Amino acid sequence: MNTPTSVPAKPQATALGYPRIGPNRELKRALEAHWSGRLDAAGLEAAAASVRSGMLDDLSVLDTVPSGTFSLYDHVLDTIVAVDALAPRHRRETELASYFAAARGDEAAVPLEMTKWFDTNYHYLVPEIGPDTEFDAKPAKAVAEFLEAKERGLDARPVLLGPVSFLLLAKASEDAPAEFTPFDRLDDLVPVYVELLAALREAGAALVQVDEPALCADRSEAELAAVAATYRRLTADTEIVVAGGYGPFGEALPVLLEAGVAGIALDLVRGRSDLEALEALDVSRETYLLAGVVDGRNIWRTDLANAGADIARLQGISDRVGVSSSSSLLHVPVDLDAEHELPAALIERLAFARQKLREITTLADPDGARAARPQAPDAWRDDSVRSRLAALGADADRRIPYAERQAAQAERVPLPVLPTTTIGSFPQTAELRNARAAHRRGLMIDADYKARMKAEVAAVIAEQEKLGLDVLVHGEPERNDMVQYFAEQLTGFATTAAGWVQSYGSRCVRPPVLYGDVTRTAPMTVEWTSYAQSLTEKPVKGMLTGPVTILAWSFVRDDQPLSETADQVALALRDEVTDLEAAGTAIIQVDEPALRELLPVRAASRAAYRDWATRSFRLATAGVRPETAIHTHLCYSEFGEVIDAIAALDADVTSIEASRSKMEVLADLDRANYRSAVGPGVWDIHSPRVPAADDMAEALRLAVAALGPERVWANPDCGLKTRRYEEVRPSLEGLVAAARTVREQL
Ligand code: GLN
Ligand code: ZN
């Protein structure tokens, strides 16, 4: 064991990374101006420099600051550039043009694929690496940003995304042989990192932070051996602190230490098991240990007493302890002081990025006050929800098996085989957005706004009747966002004025804050659905967002397990489902597009997640009679680890993204014993292309071959809100025609 040699030195305050879109989304505006041709490259660079400068202003309260965590679009794309691995199809005349070609595509080339970053709602660009991808060190950005910080007199620590994570996050380029994986190229990439590190040392960097978030996931023996070899080489000449940020390093922890890293940045919010693991290891007292006690993923104030205790434990292990955020602060909004409408009791409990930096400096100050976090006020508690949930118990499932429900539903709503429908939203036209903005600013009174939205519903219903769809939707024009719309009507939620968080590139989201017990005070959607139904003889689906997705896209209270919070949301939705049913709605769709997103990074935690996530969905939906159909919608392409969960939702119909994976998901669902109906998306709505009716018919034939005609629905991949009517009309016409063609051939 390690015995302290002296009084612990004052810990250094730092953070692993910082929001980079600007406190008022300045970068977003500059990017959009640049893309539309209103701002030239120099103008964009000036805006970016000002955002970087603001980041350093904020970070300068720390003892040491991360440098290089700014990005014009995405830090994984920055890494692609740093190792010079841009695909040939994205190479343009200028570096900036190449960068945006890779990020967004242009007439000449499709962009890189985008996918979710670990269990967050941030999306990164997926590097395409092949056996022949050439790597070369391009340290310009990292060096320039380091010097920017240094010239201000800041003690800066450059941050790079590490080679192991970079390759594990990559996908094989299209021309690669089937057995190739990008990770095979590690030996070729490491020398490039050696050069990048050398350039940073030459610029004066004494310590470099290398992010290896992929080590927060389960890794094979072979991968860990490669980690060991990699870090032996990288640490030969450079002092490196390795950061994860998305849970414990687990088995990678001793591997990194033995490889000779100077330090480890620990995620002590989600990866607390690393603390005990470290105490059991023989760690040199020289090891730089960053205590990531301030949550980089959520917006609650830190319990400074608990955090102080963790810091003290690390000081029992090492003489070089720092205080930090658990991950980059990228995932939280910039400044709580921009919020003027939030209740005082909530403000007192929140910390955005700037406030978190203050918490870090307080914790690093041996004389800083370390108050425990106060309990939530009584007013945030609602015992009626808790007792209702307790009374419902664990068993809230549907009583009748799918086959019998299906018969009852078919009798209630007779439909042709291969019924056609859409996922819910119709195009959000500029006119709708303007009306919403005017209403929000108080320039349009409630009654006018509502009338405008009702007119839109009527137009959407007429549109669908004309197209000949079988099951209609009201189009969701009244919803600003599929989570916020519900958050605004439920108790226990608050919405922020400026709590923007980068989702990808210039796109930001403003997650609601779920702070207290959740209840529904009045029906939230019934009026809209009933109005739509009053306009047509065809069935109109009710449309709700599921409990898991509501949690995934909010900042959620961390004083009780997510499962309990999910059940409260589910109970509120259950009441809504009941009211929709009572109003005569025969089909109710509960969307869970984020079911995959919250899946834990480590396999060991996944079963528990699948249990509570699917239970909360059933709690929300299973209160209906057998003849009422429950639909759900999921949209992402990696179903593997949640395929059993999809079956466990026990929905009557699941519409699912399938057009890009060529219907492969159907065989997977079958293996997972999924027996109800499926609407495999036959139109990839993420592309502006109008799909050919023949292609959609072919996709439907594949689905019919896999599932039998009785279990197949015809629908797009996702909602249509981002599409224009010019694309939607011909595409849906084709979809209806395709269903008809295949029907006739049965
Ligand atoms: N019903 C929602 C819509 O159609 C679903 C959105 C989603 O899957 N993300 O927009
Ligand atoms: Zn979707």
Q: What is the pLDDT of residues 642-653, one digit of tens each?
A: 999 999 999 999
CA distance 287 to 268: 17
User: Kind and range of the H or E element at 198?
Assistant: helix 186-202
Which runs of consecutive H residues, i.e. helices, occur in 468-604?
484-487, 526-534, 547-552, 562-582
User: Kind and range of the H or E element at 730?
Assistant: helix 725-745
Query: What is the predicted pLDDT for the residue at 648?
Result: 95
**721 within ligand 1 shell (Cβ under 6 A):** yes
Is the pLDDT assigned to residue 498 strictly greater than 80?
yes
Is the pLDDT assigned to residue 325 strictly greater than 80?
yes
Residue of 473, 480, 482 with the most ligand 1 atoms within 8 Å of its CB, for mutation: 482
Quote the tokens at residue 586.
């025969």
Residues 6+ apart with CB under 8 A from 633: 423, 424, 589, 591, 592, 593, 654, 655, 656, 718
Catalytic pick from 331, 340, 631, 686? 686
Quote the tokens at residue 667.
């065989």
pLDDT in tens, 441-487: 999 999 999 999 999 999 999 999 999 999 999 999 999 999 999 99
Mean pLDDT across the chain, nearest whole number?
95
- What is the Å distance from ligand 2's center to 382 Cα? 33
- Rounded to the nearest 5 percent, the helix, strand and coil shares of the chain are 45, 15, 40
Buried b (16+ CB within 10 A) or exposed e, 717-735: bbbbbebeeebbeebbebb
Q: Whose CA is nearest to atom 6 of ligand 1?
A: 719
pLDDT in tens, 419-443: 999 999 999 999 999 999 999 999 9
- The residue-averaged pLDDT of 203-218 equals 98
- What is the Å distance from ligand 2's center to 265 Cα? 36
Q: Whose CA is nearest to atom 4 of ligand 1?
A: 719
Confidence tier at 1 by pLDDT (50, 70, 90): very low
CA distance 424 to 633: 10
pLDDT in tens, 148-192: 999 999 999 999 999 999 999 999 999 999 999 999 999 999 999
DSSP secondary structure string, 387-435?
A: HHHHHH-S----SS-HHHHHHHHHHHS---SS-B---SB----HHHHHH
Q: Whose CA is nearest to atom 5 of ligand 1?
A: 719
Residues 6+ apart with CB under 8 A from 455: none
**711 within ligand 1 shell (Cβ under 6 A):** no
Is the pLDDT assigned to residue 2 strictly greater than 60?
no
Q: What is the dihedral of CA 14, 18, 22, 28, to 10 degrees?
A: 170
**718 within ligand 1 shell (Cβ under 6 A):** yes
The answer to whether residues 59 and 65 touch, using CB atoms and an 8 Å cutoff, is yes
Q: Whose CA is nearest to atom 3 of ligand 1?
A: 719
**632 within ligand 1 shell (Cβ under 6 A):** no
Highest mean pLDDT among 4-13, 194-203, 386-395: 194-203
The answer to whether residues 68 and 18 touch, using CB atoms and an 8 Å cutoff, is no
Ligand closest in space to the Cα of 544: 1
Three-class SS state of 78:
helix
Query: What is the predicted pLDDT for the residue at 40?
Result: 98
Phi first, then psi: what are they for 541, rounded to 5°?
-75, 135
DSSP secondary structure string, 583-622?
A: TT--EEEEE-TTTTTTS-SSGGGHHHHHHHHHHHHHHHHT
Ligand closest in space to the Cα of 658: 2
Confidence tier at 253 by pLDDT (50, 70, 90): very high
Residue of 587, 718, 721, 723 with the most ligand 1 atoms within 8 Å of its CB, for mutation: 718
Confidence tier at 665 by pLDDT (50, 70, 90): confident
State which ligand 1 atom lies nearest to the alpha carbon of 549.
9
Residue of 116, 123, 421, 425 with the most ligand 1 atoms within 8 Å of its CB, for mutation: 425
State which ligand 1 atom lies nearest to the alpha carbon of 593.
8
The answer to whether residues 606 and 641 touch, using CB atoms and an 8 Å cutoff, is yes
Is the pLDDT assigned to residue 4 strictly greater than 70?
no
Query: What is the predicted pLDDT for the residue at 637?
Result: 66
Longest Cα–Cα distance of the chain, Å, equals 84
CA distance 217 to 248: 8
- The residue-averaged pLDDT of 228-242 equals 98
Residues 6+ apart with CB under 8 A from 466: none
CA distance 303 to 105: 45
- What is the Å distance from ligand 2's center to 642 Cα? 16
Query: What is the predicted pLDDT for the residue at 6?
Result: 57
State which ligand 1 atom lies nearest to the alpha carbon of 635.
8
Query: What is the predicted pLDDT for the residue at 603?
Result: 95
CA distance 135 to 129: 10
The answer to whether residues 186 and 226 touch, using CB atoms and an 8 Å cutoff, is yes
> Residue 8: how many CB atoms within 10 A of its CB?
17
Query: What is the predicted pLDDT for the residue at 7?
Result: 64
Pairing state of beta strands 114-116 and 123-125? antiparallel
How far, rounded to the nearest angstrom, does the alpha carbon of residue 409 sit from its chain's CA centroid? 35
- What is the Å distance from ligand 1's center to 420 Cα? 17
**635 within ligand 1 shell (Cβ under 6 A):** yes
- The residue-averaged pLDDT of 222-232 equals 98
Strand partners, 288: 263, 320
Ligand closest in space to the Cα of 549: 1
Confidence tier at 9 by pLDDT (50, 70, 90): confident
Confidence tier at 393 by pLDDT (50, 70, 90): confident
State which ligand 1 atom lies nearest to the alpha carbon of 719.
4
**728 within ligand 1 shell (Cβ under 6 A):** no
- What is the Å distance from ligand 2's center to 653 Cα? 14
pLDDT in tens, 541-550: 999 999 999 9
Nearest to 88 by CA among 123, 125, 41, 130: 130
Residue with tokens 């960053």: 290
Q: Based on the number of CB atoms within 10 Å of its own CB, is 375 exposed (0-12), middle (13-18) or buried (19 or more)?
A: exposed
The answer to whether residues 158 and 208 touch, using CB atoms and an 8 Å cutoff, is yes
Residue with tokens 């959407």: 460
Residue with tokens 């403003």: 510
**600 within ligand 1 shell (Cβ under 6 A):** no
- The residue-averaged pLDDT of 616-629 equals 97
pLDDT in tens, 531-588: 999 999 999 999 999 999 999 999 999 999 999 999 999 999 999 999 999 999 999 9
CA distance 139 to 71: 14
- What is the Å distance from ligand 2's center to 482 Cα? 11
439 is catalytic: no
Q: What is the 3-class SS of 656-715, one letter each residue? A: ECCCCCCCHHHHHHHHCCCCCEEEEECCCCCCCCCCCHHHHHHHHHHHHHHHCHHHECEE
DSSP-derived secondary structure letter, 631: E
Buried b (16+ CB within 10 A) or exposed e, 661-670: bebebbeebe
**543 within ligand 1 shell (Cβ under 6 A):** yes
The helix-helix angle for 664-671 and 693-707 (nearest 10°) equals: 20
User: What phi-psi label fits residue 155: left (phi over 0), alpha (psi between -120 and 50 degrees) or beta?
Assistant: beta
Nearest to 659 by CA among 634, 637, 674: 637
CA distance 248 to 251: 9
The answer to whether residues 207 and 288 touch, using CB atoms and an 8 Å cutoff, is yes
pLDDT in tens, 669-698: 888 899 999 999 999 888 878 999 999 999
- What is the Å distance from ligand 2's center to 333 Cα? 25
Residue of 121, 423, 476 with the most ligand 1 atoms within 8 Å of its CB, for mutation: 423
Q: Whose CA is nearest to atom 1 of ligand 1?
A: 424
**518 within ligand 1 shell (Cβ under 6 A):** no
Query: What is the predicted pLDDT for the residue at 561?
Result: 97
